Chain A
Amino acid sequence: NAGVTQTPKFQVLKTGQSMTLQCAQDMNHEYMSWYRQDPGMGLRLIHYSVGAGITDQGEVPNGYNVSRSTTEDFPLRLLSAAPSQTSVYFCASSPPRGPILNTEAFFGQGTRLTVV
C-alpha cells in the first residue's frame, strides 16, 4: 500500500510552459484534493473531486485544470506557468463516511515547483 503518490518531487518551469503534476492513490478513496502551500498562507484548496468524473473549484483555481477519469488518479495541469505559481503542491485523498467528508485526509509528500 503506497498511499498517495505524487510525481515529480521537484520541477523547474519557464514562464509560459505547461505541465501536469501527477497524483495517484491506491486506497480506493472517493475524495481527492489539490492544495498549494505558500509561506504564511497555509494550505489553500485549488480543486477537488468527490468521485470519478466529478470535479469542482476550490479557493484558488485560476491557472489550473483537473480531471478525474479514474478513482485512482487526479492530475493537476498548469496551463501556462507563471512565477506566482511557484509553490509546494500537495495532493490528498479521503474515504467519505456517508455523503459528506468527515474522515482523515491522507497527503502525498508534495511537489516543489519553481517557475522562472
Chain B
Amino acid sequence: GENVEQHPSTLSVQEGDSAVIKCTYSDSASNYFPWYKQELGKGPQLIIDIRSNVGEKKDQRIAVTLNKTAKHFSLHITETQPEDSAVYFCAAPQAGTALIFGKGTTLSVSS
C-alpha cells in the first residue's frame, strides 16, 4: 500500500518568513496530493491540492510543487502570519480509494 513520509515534524518561523514542508510517497500510481491544515480542536481542512498532470499550483501565499520522478511533493507558505500556526498534513491516495496521511508538521509562527 501507499506510504507517506513527512518532514519536518515541527517548524518554527518568524512572521513574514517562508515555510516549506516536504513529503515523499511510495506508490508511483498515485496521482492526487492534497495538503490539509488542522487547527486545535477541529477536523483537518483542505488548503491546496495538486494532480499529477501539473508540477506546481499556487493559491495566494500557498503553493504546492510535485516531482513525480522523485515521488515527492512540497508545501510552500510565503509571508507567514500567526494565523498560519497549525498542524499541516500531506496525503496520497491508497490504490485510488482512501487517503494515507503523513505524520504531520506543527508550524509555529511567532510575531
Which of B11-19, B64-72, B76-84, B101-109 contacts its partner?
Answer: B101-109
Cβ-defined partner of B89 (8 Å) among A43, A59, A103, A109: A43
Asked if A102 contacts B98 (CB within 8 A), the reply is no
- Number of residues on chain A facing chain B (CB within 8 A): 28
Chain A residues with CB below 8 A from B103, complex form:
40-42
Whether B31 and A104, one on each chain, are in contact in the complex, defined by CB atoms closer than 8 angstroms, is: no
Q: Is B86 an interface residue (CB 8 A)?
A: no
Interface residues in A20-41 (C-beta closer than 8 Å to B):
31, 33, 35, 40-41
Whether the pair A107, B44 counts as a contact (CB closer than 8 A) is yes
Q: How far is the CA of A33 from the CA of B98 in the complex (A)?
A: 7
A76: interface (CB < 8 Å): no
What's the minimum C-beta distance from B83 to chain A, rounded to whole angstroms? Answer: 20
Docked complex: A29-76 residues within 8 A CB-CB of B: 31, 33, 35, 40-45, 48, 50, 56, 58-59
